[in-house]
Amino acid sequence: MNSTSPLRLIFMGTPEFAVPTLETLLTWPGCEVVAVVTAPDKPAGRGRQLAESAVKQAATRHNLPVLQPTNLKSPEFQAELRSYEADLQVVVAFRMLPEAVWNMPRLGSINIHASLLPQYRGAAPINWALIHGETQTGVTSFFLQHEIDTGDLILQDMVPISEDDDFGTLYEKLKASGAALALRTVQAIAAGNVPTTPQTATESLRSAPKIQKETGRLDFTQSAPALANLVRGLSPIPTAFTQLPDGRTLKVFRAQAMADDADSGPGAIAPPGTWLTDGRTYLRVQTGAGLLDLLDVQLEGKKRLPVSDFLRGFNASTLTPPTT
């Protein structure tokens, strides 16, 4: 690259996770973000008024041209995209691109993914790393190609996962790490010395499919540690949940695994799904192995509360199902 000619970038992204990457790239004089591509405005809130994506809001603050295609294969959109004559496209938390789009710039398109690829390919890598109880994850930059999340690796940064991390806290860590990694990657590409490594599936790979509503349903036949990790991986959104014996839904934001009562004799441990409480300080559920101690919950139609506050206004007798 000519040192007087900055790299022309198209940035593609939608959620708040992508905003620090966009704003970090804007601080480097070696590149020029010539346009931003993001999702169309969508109805949101009780009034169902159209809401702009976090990336569009950031682009508007910086007076950047914004493209919001409904169809990435549209000839009109692709012609408009081509008119910006970008050298490179940087993609963070956006839709799957058709080849005509990702292969358009002369230097291709790179993606920032919130895992250490090839582990956790897919839409929800942060959630699934926590659900599976990982102690580390990271961010990866790679070149886009036909199959999702399979292109040649460029750079990776490892991020440790603490015992206290949930989806919300780990999201913030990876958001910052991804922005820093994106800048280093673009700088390497601009300098013409970008390292690339083909992805190889030499180990058992875990995928990261989109989180569905039923993913969050607590199955108390599983072990308490597995359920505590599920709660972490879905907190604060979309949240793990269960049904109380009276049928009401209880969301669970924080929980910890506990061993079964060591004083219980043979056959004394309750069946999985049995609720245990003193009505004042603790609310626990017997699982297939151990107790799940609920710490932070929300009853449908109510506020999120620490469990001791929740129990003050809760009739604990409803946790015992009626006999038939």
250 is in an annotated binding site: no
Phi, psi of 65 (to 5 degrees): -60, 140
Q: Which residue has the tokens 């405005």?
A: 41
Is the Cα dihedral 172, 173, 176, 179 positive or negative? negative
Residue among 103, 72, 74 at smallest CA distance from 89: 103
Q: How far apart are CA 1 and CA 162, in angstroms?
A: 41
φ and ψ of 297, to 5 deg: -140, 170
Burial (CB count within 10 angstroms: exposed 0-12, middle 13-18, buried 19+), residue 162: exposed
Give the C-alpha separation, 116 to 157, whole Å.
8
Sequence-distant (≥ 6) Cβ neighbours of residue 173 within 8 angstroms: 159, 165
Are residues 240 and 231 in contact, defined by beta-carbon separation less than 8 angstroms?
yes
Residue 179: closest CA among 3, 294, 17: 17
- DSSP, collapsed to helix, strand or coil, labels residue 254 as strand
Question: From CA 19, how far away is CA 15, in angstroms rounded?
Answer: 7
Instruction: Give the Cα separation of 215 and 195 in Å (integer).
Output: 37
25 is in an annotated binding site: no
Q: Is 117 annotated as a binding residue?
A: yes
Residue 283 labeled ligand binder: no
Residues belonging to the binding site for (6S)-5,6,7,8-tetrahydrofolate are 115-118
Annotated binding-site residue numbers: 115-118
